[in-house]
Amino acid sequence: MNRTVKIIGSGALLLAAMQFFPRDHNQGKAPAGKTMAEVIQVPSNAQVILKRSCYDCHSDHTNYPWYAQLQPVRYILDGHIRRGKDELNFDRIR
């Protein structure tokens, strides 16, 4: 039992320490005239769906959920967003 308490205590201490190393928010500036919506004509109903469902991971402007303030959840979300933007970024056209 003593070993279990040490493991749980070490894990809790590690999680508490991670809270002091926050990550930057995904709030970049898109260059003018280079967004996907300005180059490709997207129907307004499809644009609404894209913004609601896709833009959080595939643009430079993420609306983070409340639990994104907790580490290590934030590290996981940031990795997911980084990979999503590498594949497709609606705010930048290559």
Over residues 67-83, the pLDDT tens digits come to 888 888 888 888 888 89
Q: What's the pLDDT score for residue 28?
A: 61
What average pLDDT is seen over the chain? 80
* Top-confidence residue, 84 or 14: 84
DSSP H helix total and E strand total for the chain? 4, 0
Q: Please give the residue that has the higher pLDDT: either 31 or 81.
A: 81
Which contacts qualify for 78-81: CB closer than 8 Å, 24 or more apart?
A: 78/23, 78/26, 81/26, 81/56, 81/57
Note if the pTM is more than 0.75.
no
- Average of per-residue pLDDT across 20-32: 63
